[in-house]
Structure 1
Amino acid sequence: MARATGARAQLAAAFETTYGTAPASSYTKMPFARAALGSEQPLLSSELLGYGRDPLAPVLDAVTADGSVTVPIDLEAFGIWLKGAFGAPTTSGTTNFTHTFKTGASSLPSMSIEVGLPEVPHFAMYKGCMVDTLGWSMARSGLVTAEVGLVAQAEAKANATAAGTPSAVTLERFGAFQGAVKQGGNALANIVSADIRYANGLDRVETIRADGLIDGIDPGIASLTGSITARFSDTALLDQAISGTSSTLEFSYTINTNKSLTLTAHAVWLPRPRISIDGPGGVQATFDWQASLPSSGTGNMATIVLKNQRATY
């Protein structure tokens, strides 16, 4: 009997035309490092009396389906997760394409995601998936990955794939050394690490249904937060924190002119941090930042630009 292994696991995704209805085709084989999607239906213990000390049979509660996947930040496949998080981009170019995603979309697309273990065989199709959170960390070295938090409507299990033959992507990953952080258009020096965390604030529509599933998912108030840890060598960030003003922050990975990923937060606010001296080594300061709409109240909180050779998302 074959045993399931992560090395043989498969993940395929496609955007839905109708929420909660898995497409029959147009799936993409997605690279991933970890998949923790699943559904659960808890048991409710009986509260009834009159049958002695031994309990009556429990009752099934409503179904909850959600989880996360860890994916590489690459030139092509990562754009599919960006579309899930921010909506369809505006694309320009003919050979070298520029895809511009923006926060604040009034509606977001849903996806069907199949996680397969062909040895068993076991194929779990998660329908009505929407991206709730998206985040990653930047450092000097290491693998560049992002964690995608998902909320789904339902899980359907089968012994054969329902994704057909998914299309492949050209995998070209960004390296940690290709990262950069800028403030107000100027490169920030002495940045040790940075974290970026985006959340859509998804709200499950928990209506009464005979199947115990949610009726849909509505986007709530979005948030874009993170942290920057810097070796304390100048007061550029500290001065902004003390002044109580905002500035732009830009987080990017660049391979060349036509291959890059850039997230620009247009109005970032910094708290005044505690600067402690913990020994003879270098002194570091951590700024837990928050982004918002620009002070004019117009535009959008952040813009994400992905440059690659893929024509559409």
Structure 2
Amino acid sequence: MARAQGARAQMALAFETVYGTPPAGGFTKMPFASTTLGSEQPLLNSELLGYGRDPLAPIKDAVTADGNVVLPIDAATFGFWLKAAFGQPVTTGTGPWTHEFRSGGWTLPSLSIETGMPEVPRFAMYSGCVLDTLNWQMQRSGLLTATASLVAQGEAVASTSAAGALSELALKRFGHFNGAITRNGASLGNIVSAEITYANSLDRIETIRSDGRIDGADPSIAALTGKIEVRFADQVLVNQAIAGDPCALEFAYVLPSGESFTFTAHAVYLPRPRIEISGPQGVQASFDWQAARDTTLGRMCTATLINDIEEY
């Protein structure tokens, strides 16, 4: 008997025209490292008395469908996740194309995501997926991945795939070696590591339904936060934190073949850090930064992806 193995698992993604309704086709094969996307329905213990010490049968509670997807940051498929986070991009060029994803949009697209284990067989279609958070880390070495947190409406399990024929994009993956950080256009040195988290702060619409599912997930006030670990060598960031002035932080990756991904937080505010001397080694400072709306551009952040994909 065949047993499920993660090595044989697959994932397909497509944007929905109608929330909660998987499209008939147009699914794209997605690379991923792991996923916790799933649906669960807890049981409620009976509170009734008068039937002895043994409890009565439990009652089913509401259905919850959500989870995370750990995915590579690459030049092609990462655009689908950026579209889920920010909405439709502004695309320019004639090849290569420049896709500019801007924060602040009121409407987010929903997705249908199918995860499959062909050897069981089990194919789970998660409809009405809306991206809640997207985060990743920058460091000197290791594999570069991002984590997308999703809120779904429901799950439908079948023994055959409902995604149909899948299109597959060439994987051109960014690495930590391709990364760089700038502050107000100038290279920012002495950075040990950096974290970036964008959140749509979804509000689940939990109406009364016979199927126990939610009616939707609406974005509220967005948040862009992060953390940078700095080898303490100068007072530039500390002076900014004391003054309370914002700066623009740019996190960029560029491949030798020309593809690039640039994430710019236009108005970043730094807290005043505690500078500790914990031993004979180098002194490091940690800044838990947060971004806000830039009054000149009218938005908080911009994600720019340059590749050979014409549209998302």
Q: Flag whether TM exceeds 0.5 (same fold).
A: yes
Letter paired with 1:286: S
Map 1:31-110; keep pairs closer than 5 Å: 31-110=31-110
Letter paired with 1:30: M
1:154 counterpart residue number: 154
- Partner SS for 2:288: strand
- Partner SS for 2:84: helix
2:307 counterpart residue number: 308
Letter paired with 1:11: M
1:121 aligns with 2:121: yes
How far does residue 278 in structure 1 lie from its aligned partner after superposition? 1.4
2:139 counterpart residue number: 139
Determine the C-alpha separation between the residues in 2 that align with 1:257 and 1:33: 24
Map 1:89-238; keep pairs closer than 5 Å: 89-238=89-238
Determine the C-alpha separation between the residues in 1 that align with 2:110 and 2:302: 21
Gaps in structure 1 of 5+ consecutive residues:
none
Measured against aligned partners, the alpha-carbon deviations of 1:24-58 in whole angstroms (never above 9, x if no partner) come to 10000000000111111111111112222221111
- Partner SS for 1:17: coil
Determine the C-alpha separation between the residues in 1 that align with 2:219 and 2:108: 7
Determine the C-alpha separation between the residues in 1 that align with 2:113 and 2:7: 18
How far does residue 258 in structure 1 lie from its aligned partner after superposition? 3.6
Letter paired with 1:171: L
2:298 counterpart residue number: 299
Determine the C-alpha separation between the residues in 1 that align with 2:225 and 2:13: 27
How far does residue 170 in structure 1 lie from its aligned partner after superposition? 0.7
Determine the C-alpha separation between the residues in 1 that align with 2:220 and 2:64: 19
- Write out the 4+ residue segments of structure 1 that deviate beyond 4 Å after TM superposition: none
Determine the C-alpha separation between the residues in 2 that align with 1:127 and 1:37: 11
Letter paired with 2:308: Q
Determine the C-alpha separation between the residues in 2 that align with 1:194 and 1:257: 25
Measured against aligned partners, the alpha-carbon deviations of 1:196-220 in whole angstroms (never above 9, x if no partner) come to 0010000110001111100111111
Measured against aligned partners, the alpha-carbon deviations of 1:73-96 in whole angstroms (never above 9, x if no partner) come to 000000000000000100011111
- Partner SS for 1:107: coil
- Partner SS for 2:116: strand
Determine the C-alpha separation between the residues in 1 that align with 2:220 and 2:195: 22
Percent sequence identity over aligned pairs: 62
Letter paired with 2:17: T
Letter paired with 2:223: S
Letter paired with 2:251: F
Gaps in structure 2 of 5+ consecutive residues:
none
Measured against aligned partners, the alpha-carbon deviations of 1:244-280 in whole angstroms (never above 9, x if no partner) come to 1111111111114841101111110000001111111
Determine the C-alpha separation between the residues in 1 that align with 2:87 and 2:102: 8
Determine the C-alpha separation between the residues in 2 that align with 1:260 and 1:236: 28
Letter paired with 2:48: L
2:252 counterpart residue number: 252
Map 1:265-304; keep pairs closer than 5 Å: 265-295=265-295, 299-304=298-303
Letter paired with 1:312: E
